Amino acid sequence: MEPEVPVAQETEKVPEPQEVQEETAATQPASPSEDSYQVKLEIFEGPLDLLLYLIRKKKIDIHDIPIAVITRDYLEYLERKDQINLDREAEFLFIAALLIYIKSQMLLPREQEVSQEEDPRRILVDRLLEYQKVKIACSMLREKEEDQLMRWKRTFLPPVARPDELDLLEVSLFDLAETFFLIMKRKERENFRVIKGKDVSVEEKIKEIVDYLEKNGQMDFLEYFSSQETLEEALVSFFCLLELIKNHVVIALQEQLFQTIRVWLRKDRSPHLTHGHSHE
């Protein structure tokens, strides 16, 4: 094996075979054109794939591999490869070594007929049979994949009921403010001591709300509001919601006063508004 034989710009196509196959497989006649390996190594998914390809090409039964012929083909193929990356293709070399080992075992004179169990090819044949099953499963899965790739699903949440009805329910800023102050009163009663949390910026909060909406589609604002750690943060989040509504980034709907406020991103929002906002 010559590692790293740099052939200028020839990596894409394996060159035509320079030497003519002197002996075609004893078992099966193969046309010379079929024997030219116009395939690059990369298309094989590994040494077993290559081996399977060689065996099929010779139209041999896997259980009865003519080891000498296959070993020669295999090595020849590796030699044609312009560059062998030893790290990456150690597996190819390992199978090469295995083939040579099996060949030598089979050449050894035996006292008795080799029984099935002792056939040195056995280990390789078992692996090939298993691998062959994988290849067939692959082709069956590929068909299913092709069918599924041409089917389209919806990745967005479809509209609920009539959109024009929903429009009538759009929350006014007044509704929002009123709700908010009622909640604040409630929260004030609950919060005996107001812990001063970290400073929350409006920008951060807006980003958090928009991120949340982008991920979850919609938000139950009252739930979000009451999950805020401090009153200050809750205030900021409410202010942010107002800003987002004002800038037409989100739409907020409330069916009745004191009921939950549902918030969605507007489809027609201008993108720059979703990332913080700018005070002039």
**What does the alpha-carbon distance between residue 121 and residue 103 come to, in Å, rounded to a whole number?**
9
Q: Is 154 in the site for another protein (CB under 8 A)?
A: yes
Q: Is 11 in the site for another protein (CB under 8 A)?
A: no
CB of 129 to another protein, least distance (A): 9
Contact 197, 230 (CB under 8 A): yes
Q: Is 216 in the site for another protein (CB under 8 A)?
A: yes
Q: Is 203 in the site for another protein (CB under 8 A)?
A: no
Cβ closest to another protein, residue 22 vs residue 45 = 45
| x/- track of binding to another protein for residues 89-128 (CB under 8 A) | --x---x-------------------------------x-
Selected binder of another protein within 13, 122, 135, 186 (CB under 8 A) = 135
Q: Is 87 in the site for another protein (CB under 8 A)?
A: yes
Contact 74, 50 (CB under 8 A): yes
Contact 267, 201 (CB under 8 A): no
Q: Which residues contact 251 (CB under 8 A, 6 or more apart)?
A: 170, 245, 263, 264, 265, 266
> What 3-state class would DSSP assign to 245?
helix
Cβ closest to another protein, residue 143 vs residue 178 = 143
Residue carrying the six token digits 């991103």: 265
**Sequence-ordered alpha helix ranges (H) in 44-121:** 47-57, 67-80, 90-107
Span 163-182, contacts to another protein by CB under 8 A:
163-165
**What does the alpha-carbon distance between residue 263 and residue 209 come to, in Å, rounded to a whole number?**
10
Contact set with another protein (CB under 8 A)? 45-49, 56, 59-61, 87-88, 91, 95, 127, 130-138, 140-142, 144-165, 195, 198, 200, 204, 207-208, 211-212, 215-216, 218, 224, 227-229, 233, 267
